[in-house]
Each structure stands twice: as structure tokens, then as C-alpha cells.
Amino acid sequence: MSRAPASLRLLALALVVAWGRGDYLADSILCDDIEAICIYDDLPYVTNDTVCGDKHQFLNPARCNCGSMCIKYLEEGEECFMKSLISFPHNLCGPSLECIPVDGEKGHCMRNPARKCLNETLSYEAAQEEGTLGPGEYKPNCDEFGRYAGRQCSPGSTCYCVNTEGERLFGEAPITEKDTMDCACASYWEETESRGLNMGLRCLPNGNFDTLQCADKMCYCFDPQTGSISFGPFPDYMMEDLVCYDEAIHGSIYKRPCELALDEWESQESSEVVTIQESARPVCTHDGYYAAVQYEEGYAYCSDFHGRQIEDFKQEIYLSDGLSCNCARRRYIMEENGLGSNKPKCCPNGEYKPLQTRGLLAYCVDTNGNQYGPAVVTTDITSLPCYSEEPCPTVMEY
């Protein structure tokens, strides 16, 4: 059965409204006649970005999200209500704030210290106010829900990607690039791999999406904001004609050093001629470069992006479970970007020494090189909980 034009349906609806609202029947429960439904319910159908003025715009929770609902964000310390007699609130605690009860049904908009990222932020601000901040402390970066934002940083060195629980992900860059890091690609790969998948979009070394993507001999420009193709696709031999192509980033071929080495290694393995592999399988990251930990001749060694060993950092393979080389990689990135004056001190296997010093101060650090606990003058170094005569595992020579 053919449907009547929208104008006739609206006219019929107007007549129904005039005769009695109770006789109106929507086309379906799927809101496919949303304009008519909104008009019938005396709710605005038109939405725009300025309708709420200085308030914040949300979809109206009424039937079919007719129009907009304008809600004021309360600031930290402002009074809020835990319960309301009305269906929908007129105001809400702003980003990173929760309505925490103080007396009876009333509360105040506060940062909840039960959330780890906010707890660390509050501790940082308290130390800052007291003038007791240590040289290895950096204010955590929390999202609007009080969880860890994708990008975290350490003072004067590098920024790196984490998940919402603060656990380290792929992606790191000098701190000078922090304003351009969103770690969206690092988060994308955490979700992708959690589903058991191992193929997807390529990243940049800092954990962002590469805006140039190639697959099946076709290349295109990718818009991370919309998750769609913004230009192309072109055949891969026309990659340089894409508007997102950057010679400094992409070079003359799409594949990067580790991807090329992996192709070569796998071609030897699949050859009809039986050969003995003289080198271990390259370990690549989501940017096509070498992972921080590589393997060779009974050792796991700390690698730069091109597969070269960083200084003398290595560990016997049988002791290398959980090896990250976080400290070695940070030293390398800092050196390459002119930030080498305060490079961290690493154990022989490339992990952070639990105790770090800077100037006349000493302090303990976690596996990401971030300070925890107080900083003390170096003469009181033995008072620190991480102090040890032998803080690093021994690397045995064969």
C-alpha cells in the first residue's frame, strides 16, 4: 500500500488533533513519523546549536527526542539535589563532578576521591598548594567522567597512551607534542584486540590515527572525527596524490620498517626451500615500526623504532616476561628530540630504576617513571620505601 504525501498526513494529523488527541495513532513505535509526533505532543521539532544559549544542549528525553533539553552545569562546590520531584533535572554537576551527599537529600558537586584519577589529581593539587610537589610529579589528565584520559605525561620527558583505568597502551611521543596527542588509535586497538581481531587501521607512533590508510592496493584519507573516508580511494601507486599524504611521515612507500622486515621474514618461512631462520621474528606495533622489545640470540633487547638496540639494554629471554623497556624508550625519544638533559635512570634491562634523583632530590617512581610518595634530599635517600642496595635484576652474560 502506498503512503500519502507527508503534507497530507500532517493535515490529517491536524484534523485529528482538532477532533481529539486520544484518536491519534503514530505510524510506528520507531519514530519514523517523528515530526508529526512532536507536533502532536506540542513539542518543538527543530533543533540547532544555539537554542540553549549559555546552557548545555541534550536530547529531550520525551518521546522520540523531540527538540532539545537545556540544562545548566553546576560548578564544583555548588549545591545539588540527590533526588528530585520532577521527571528531568534542570541542572547537573559539570564534567568530572558528582553530586555527593552532605546532609539529607542535599549534596554538593564534588570530584569523587574514590575515582583513582581524581584522587591523584586532588593529591597533586594539595601538594601544589602546600609547596611540596616533587620533580617527578605531573597532574593526571582525567576525562569528563573522572576516568583517565587517553594521554598522560611525565614532567619534562614524554607523553604516553593509557586506557580509562590508567593502564599503558601503545603510543608515546615527546612532551612537546602533548597538545596534538589524542591516543584515539591506541584506544581503538585495545578494543579491536579485545574482540580477538588483529587487523585494522594504522596508527602514528604517538597513538593517533594515521590519516593516510592503505589496504588491498588502495589508499585513502581517513577522518578520525567521523570515522569515514574523507578523500579517495586511489590506487596505492597514486598515494602521493592524496591530500593527506605527508612525505615526512609516509615516505615513498606505505609500509614502514618493521612491516617490511616482517614480510621478508615470513617469505623465508614460507619458501619451498627449507632454511634455518638466522634472526627472530620482528615484533611490530600498530604504526608499522618496531616494538620496544625485540629478540635475538637468547636475549630480549630494547629497540628503537627502527629495530636498533638502545644503548646496552637487554635481558635474558627466559627472564623477559613482562619486559616493557619503558625507560629505555623514553631515554631514546628524549635524546632524539633534544630533551636529553634529564633522562631517567634505567636498569640494565631497560626498566626504570625504582629510585630516581634530580638535582638534590630523590624519589620513587612506578613502572611509567612517575613519582609516587614524597621527594627527599639525597642525604635521606635510605628513608624512601623503594631504596635498595640492589634495585635492578642482574643480567647474566653467556
Split into its structural domains, the chain has a count of 1
DSSP assignment of 281-341 equals: PP-B-TTSSB-SEEEETTEEEEE-TTSPEEEEEEEEGGG-TT---HHHHHHHHHHHTT-GG
* The length of the chain, given as a count of residues: 398
How far is it, in rounded angstroms, from Cα 221 to Cα 200? 15
Q: What are phi and psi for residue 81, nearest 5 degrees?
A: -115, 135
What pLDDT is recorded for position 21? 46
Residue that is written with C-alpha cell 484518536 in the block:
23
Specify if 22 maps to a domain: no
Phi-psi region of 157 (alpha: psi -120 to 50; beta: other; left: phi over 0): alpha
The mean pLDDT value for 33-50 works out to 70
Specify if 85 maps to a domain: no
| Distance of alpha carbon 292 from the chain centroid | 19
Of the pLDDT bands very low, low, confident and very high (cuts 50, 70, 90), residue 207 is very high
How far is it, in rounded angstroms, from Cα 285 to Cα 262? 11
- Biggest distance spanned by C-alpha atoms of the chain: 94
Residue that is written with C-alpha cell 584519577 in the block:
117
Specify if 210 maps to a domain: yes
Within the chain, strands assigned E span 56-59, 68-74, 79-81, 91-93, 98-103, 106-110, 151-153, 158-162, 168-174, 212-215, 218-223, 228-235, 293-296, 299-303, 309-316, 355-358, 361-365, 371-377
Question: Quick count: other Cβ atoms within 10 Å of Cβ 293?
Answer: 22
- Give the least confident one: 83-87, 92-96, 129-133: 83-87
Specify if 211 maps to a domain: yes
What pLDDT is recorded for position 9? 46
Of the pLDDT bands very low, low, confident and very high (cuts 50, 70, 90), residue 272 is low
Of the pLDDT bands very low, low, confident and very high (cuts 50, 70, 90), residue 90 is confident
- Structure confidence by residue, pLDDT tens digits, 60-71: 777 777 777 788
How far is it, in rounded angstroms, from Cα 71 to Cα 58? 7
Residues 112 and 146 sit within 8 Å (Cβ to Cβ):
yes
What pLDDT is recorded for position 14? 42
Strand order in the sheet with 98-103: 79-81, 106-110, 98-103
Distances (CA, A) of 149 to 152, 159, 164, 166, 334: 7, 12, 6, 8, 23
What pLDDT is recorded for position 163? 97
Please give the grid coordinates belonging to residue 210: 594515521
What pLDDT is recorded for position 105? 65
The type of residue at 155 is: P
List 235's β-bridge partners, or say none: 218
What pLDDT is recorded for position 254? 93
Kindly report whether the global pTM for this prediction surpasses the value 0.95: no
How far is it, in rounded angstroms, from Cα 91 to Cα 70? 9
Specify if 273 maps to a domain: no
Specify if 237 maps to a domain: yes
Of the pLDDT bands very low, low, confident and very high (cuts 50, 70, 90), residue 55 is confident
How far is it, in rounded angstroms, from Cα 358 to Cα 360? 6
Please, how many CA atoms are within 13 Å of residue 272, restricted to the half-sphere of its CB? 0
How far is it, in rounded angstroms, from Cα 290 to Cα 282? 7
What residues make up the domain containing 166?
Answer: 150-250
Burial group, residue 70, by CB count within 10 angstroms (0-12, 13-18, 19+): middle
Specify if 185 maps to a domain: yes
